[in-house]
């Protein structure tokens, strides 16, 4: 039995590192979502108070750039929400491994003894793969959100600058 545990040890280290990366990805997505939410909240505050409105922008490029920036912001928040959304199902169901709570619920009590009898190495390999897929998906969404957020900031700034130069000319 110690031979199986010896073979599972490197996998267990990779699994621990993968779980840590999952926690980091969740923290990044949550922080970016909160930060973007604060900026949107500040903007909405100005809108609701009546002190400013995008409808006051001059027609043409400034208005179009502003609304494109707003759409990019919504898309960024959607991507971040997707990164934070809990993944509790596998892409392909397995009945031979009970590696996390979702497996236990799906397999049910009758088959649980058999599924828990799977060697540790199979469980570790399964979890390393499944969690790695989740982390990769989260980071892809976070990258997309960062690009969209940078784009929205650039669009907002350009709209405001163009509005000022168009109005003064």
Interval 119-133: pLDDT, tens: 888 888 888 999 999
Domains of the chain, by residue range, sit at: 2-168
Portion of the chain with pLDDT greater than 90, in percent = 48
Which residues, 6+ apart, have CB-to-CB distance to 48 below 8 Å?
Answer: none
User: What pTM value is reported for the model?
Assistant: 0.82
Interval 25-82: pLDDT, tens: 999 999 999 999 999 998 889 889 887 788 888 888 899 999 999 999 999 999 999 9
Distance CA 11, CA 4 (A): 11
pLDDT score recorded for residue 114: 84
pLDDT at 167 over 60: no
pLDDT at 115 over 60: yes
pLDDT score recorded for residue 169: 45
Portion of the chain with pLDDT greater than 70, in percent = 91
């Amino acid at each position: 039995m110690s031979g199986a545990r010896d073979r599972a040890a490197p996998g267990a280290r990779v699994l621990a590192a993968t779980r840590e990366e999952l926690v980091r990805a969740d923290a990044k997505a949550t922080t970016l979502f909160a930060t973007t939410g604060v900026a949107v909240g500040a903007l909405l505050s100005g809108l609701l108070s009546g002190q400013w409105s995008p409808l006051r922008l001059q027609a043409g490029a400034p208005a179009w750039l502003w609304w494109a920036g707003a759409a990019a912001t919504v898309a960024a928040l959607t991507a971040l929400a997707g990164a934070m959304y809990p993944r509790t199902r596998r892409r392909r169901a397995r009945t031979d491994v009970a590696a996390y709570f979702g497996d236990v619920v799906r397999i049910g009590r009758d088959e649980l003894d058999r599924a828990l009898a799977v060697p540790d190495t199979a469980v570790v390999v399964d979890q390393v793969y499944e969690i790695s897929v989740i982390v990769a998906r989260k980071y892809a969404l976070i990258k997309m959100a960062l690009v969209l957020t940078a784009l929205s900031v650039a669009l907002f700034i350009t709209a405001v600058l163009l509005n000022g130069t168009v109005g003064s000319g």
